[in-house]
Structure 1
Amino acid sequence: MLRVTAVVLLTFVANAYIYDVCVPYQWEGIQAVVTGTEEAGTLTVTQSTSRFSFDANNSRIAASTSGSQDGSEFQKGFLFLYQQRRVYIIDGGRCRAYQLIQHFPSPCLPQNFSWSWDVTWEGFLDIYEFVGPVHDLYFHVQVLSASNIPITMQQTGTVDNGPVFRTSTYANVTLDIKNPDVFTLPSICKAAEVEGTFDAPDYFIGLNFQ
C-alpha cells in the first residue's frame, strides 16, 4: 500500500548550485503516477503503476506498467538498453523496437534547484524544487535524506502549449538489482525491427512509463 505521511517540524530554504543530488545508481521499486493534460478544453487523466529496475552502472532500465487512460486500461512492458541505443515496448502481445535519441538518463537532478527539508514519520526528507530541462516543467521532489531515494514528485507546467500536472509516488524501494534477468531481451523482441526513434527524457526523475 502506498503511504505518504508528512509532519512538518522545520523548513529551511537555500539556493544550491555547488553539489550534485543523485538517486542511487542501482535501485528498484514501484512508481505510481497520475497525469492530467488538457487539449482544446478536453481533460485527459492517466493513472499508471510501474514496477521498475534502474541500473545506471550498465545503462539500462526495465519497467512493467499497467494503468488506465480515461477509463481505457492498458498494460505495457519497457526495456531501455542504452548501450545498444534501443528501447523495446511490449504491448498487446507485440514487441516494438525504437532507436533511442537521448543518452542514458542521469540519476542526478539539475543543479538549478532550491533546497529545504522536513521531518516526517518516514524520517528526514530533503525537498528540491527546480525547473527541469524537459518542456520547462516545474518540479517539487521529496527524497529520503540518508539515501536520496525519491518519495514523491509533483510536476506542473505546459507541454505542447497545453497545461500538464503529474504526481508520482515511489514505494517498496530496494537498493541494487536483485534479478538481472529483467534486462534480458524477451524472445518476442528478438526479431523486432526498428520502427523509428524514441525521445526519452535525459534525466531519470522525469521518466515516466506510459
Structure 2
Amino acid sequence: MFRLLLLSAVLAVALGQTKFCCTPDQWEGYLGEIAGSVVSGTTHLITGNISISYDYTNTKMATSSYLVIDGKNQDVTVIMDYQKKMMYTIIGTQCTTSQLTGDMMKLCVPDNAMPSGKFTYGAGSTTLDAMAYLVPAGPDSTVYVTTTVGNPCVPIGEVLYGTPNKIPTVQTMGYYNISPGIKDPQIFNPPSSCSGQKFLKPAPVLTNFLMKHMHAKVTKH
C-alpha cells in the first residue's frame, strides 16, 4: 500500500557530507503522522504518533509507534542495531527478527533537493527560522521537507504526495519535542522475548510505514 514510504525519509538519506544539512548524530523526539492512499478504488488511512531515538554515533535507532490502520489500533516497537546487523520488531507480545545489510546511513537533506526558500514560524520575539526543500521521491512523487536553518538541522515537517506504483498517496508528518542526545541507551536493548525468535515478515502496510524511518535492507533470519 505505502510502497513509496520504504524509499522516502524523515530526511532523505545521504552518505557523508551534504551541500545542505544533516540532523545531529544523536537525538530523540516525536512524530505525528497521517497518511492515506487509494488502492483499486478503496481508500486506506493510517494515523500515528511515533517516538524516535536516533543514534548515528553508535549506529542504532529505535521507534515506538502507536498507530491506527484503517480503524484498527496497532502498537509497534522497532529496534535497529547496525553493530549486530539486526532489526527487532515487537508487535504486542510477539517479537520477530530480521538481518540488516549495509551500514547505517546518516539522515541528511540530499544533494538533489531543491531549496524553495526560508520562512519563519511564530510572531514577534517568538519565532523559528526554517528552510523548505522539494525532494524528488521517484518519477511520480515529491516530498516537501521543512527543517530548522543551519547545520546540523532539525526536521520540522514533511508532506509527501504523488502516485507511487500508480497509487495516489498523500502523507503529512510533523515533528515535536526534539532533544539532543540519548537519555537512556537501554532503549536500544531488545526484550528477552526476542531471543531465538524466527523471522516473520509483518504486514506490508505496517512494514513500509515503519521502514521509511529506518532506510534498511532486510533479509530473512
Compute the TM-score of the two structures, normalised by the length of structure 1: 0.80
Is 1:120 aligned with 2:126? no
1:118 positional shift: 0.1
Q: Count residues in correspondence.
A: 187
Is 1:34 aligned with 2:40? no
Task: Report the secondary structure of 2:105's partner residue.
Answer: coil
1:195 positional shift: 4.1
Report % sequence identity.
24
Task: Report the secondary structure of 2:133's partner residue.
Answer: strand
1:56 corresponds in structure 2 to 56
Is 1:145 aligned with 2:142? no
Of residues 48-57 and 187-196 in structure 1, the stretch that sits farther from structure 2 once superposed is 187-196
* Mapped partners of 2:32, 2:20: distance in 1: 26
Distance 1:179 1:110, change over 3 A: same
Is 1:157 aligned with 2:162? yes
Is 1:129 aligned with 2:125? no
1:102 positional shift: 5.5
* Mapped partners of 2:56, 2:140: distance in 1: 24
- State the one-letter code of the partner of 1:142: T
2:84 corresponds in structure 1 to 84
Is 1:24 aligned with 2:24? yes
- State the one-letter code of the partner of 2:213: L
* Mapped partners of 1:137, 1:176: distance in 2: 33
Structure holding more strand per residue: 1
Q: What's the CA shift string for 1:3-46, capped at 9, x where partnerless?
A: xxxxxxxxxxxxxxx71421111100001111111100111010
1:161 positional shift: 2.3
Distance 1:73 1:102, change over 3 A: farther
1:207 corresponds in structure 2 to 213
C-alpha contact 1:60 1:80 (8 A) present in aligned 2: yes
C-alpha contact 1:99 1:196 (8 A) present in aligned 2: no
Is 1:173 aligned with 2:178? yes
* Mapped partners of 2:192, 2:63: distance in 1: 17
- State the one-letter code of the partner of 1:94: Q
Instruction: Quote the RMSD (CA, aligned, Å).
Output: 2.6
Question: Which runs of structure 2 are paired with 1:68-107 in the superposition (5 Å)?
Answer: 68-101=68-101, 103-107=103-107
Structure 1 gaps of 5+ residues are: 1-17
Q: What's the CA shift string for 1:152-171, capped at 9, x where partnerless?
A: 11111223321111101000
Structure 2 gaps of 5+ residues are: 1-17, 215-221
C-alpha contact 1:66 1:74 (8 A) present in aligned 2: yes
Q: Detail structure 1 runs of 4+ shifted over 3 Å in the superposition.
A: 194-197
1:49 positional shift: 0.5
Task: Report the secondary structure of 1:109's partner residue.
Answer: coil
Distance 1:152 1:47, change over 3 A: same
2:8 corresponds in structure 1 to none
1:194 positional shift: 3.4
1:117 positional shift: 0.5
1:136 positional shift: 5.6
1:87 positional shift: 1.0
* Mapped partners of 2:28, 2:45: distance in 1: 26
Distance 1:73 1:196, change over 3 A: closer
Compute the TM-score of the two structures, normalised by the length of structure 2: 0.76
Task: Report the secondary structure of 1:84's partner residue.
Answer: coil
